[in-house]
């Protein structure tokens, strides 16, 4: 049985892959290219390119994705963000309470 972390990682990988595949397909169409032409340029098979363009196939190597991206005129940048695991309550400093009360009242008056 898959763990919650595994399921979350799978969802995140699928979201990333769908974004990449959508961008690759769009660029390929805009450039008037085809699966076959991209395969020739990368020195690979049409089947391999179809896997790159398949939004649900997350088992593509990073190397293959970068090669396809470069071929289509993209620069690849990967960023990592730390996840927040726990939010702890913080006491509001006494001298900020009047300001927070005013802010709350102003927000309450918004339409």
What does the pLDDT read at residue 89? 87
By the 8 A CB rule, do 100 and 92 touch? yes
Strands of 16-99, DSSP E? none
Q: In this predicted model, what pLDDT tens digit does every residue of 47-89 receive, in sequence order?
A: 999 999 999 999 989 999 999 999 999 999 988 888 888 888 8
Choose among 97, 90, 91, 95: nearest CA to 105.
97
Q: In this predicted model, what pLDDT tens digit does every residue of 35-57 receive, in sequence order?
A: 999 999 999 999 999 999 999 99
Share of the chain above pLDDT 90, in %: 72
What does the pLDDT read at residue 83? 82
Q: What is the pTM of this model?
A: 0.68
Q: In this predicted model, what pLDDT tens digit does every residue of 4-18 receive, in sequence order?
A: 888 989 999 999 999
């Amino acid at each position: 049985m898959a763990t919650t972390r595994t399921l979350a990682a799978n969802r995140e990988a699928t979201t990333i892959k769908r974004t990449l595949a959508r961008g690759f397909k769009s660029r390929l169409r805009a450039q008037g290219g085809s699966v076959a032409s991209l395969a020739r340029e990368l020195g690979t098979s049409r089947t391999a390119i179809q896997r790159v363009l398949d939004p649900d196939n997350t088992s593509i190597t990073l190397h293959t994705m970068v090669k396809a991206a470069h071929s289509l005129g993209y620069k690849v940048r990967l960023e990592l963000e730390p996840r927040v695991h726990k939010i702890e309550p913080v006491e509001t400093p006494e001298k900020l309470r009047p300001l927070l009360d005013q802010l709350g009242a102003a927000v309450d008056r918004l339409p």
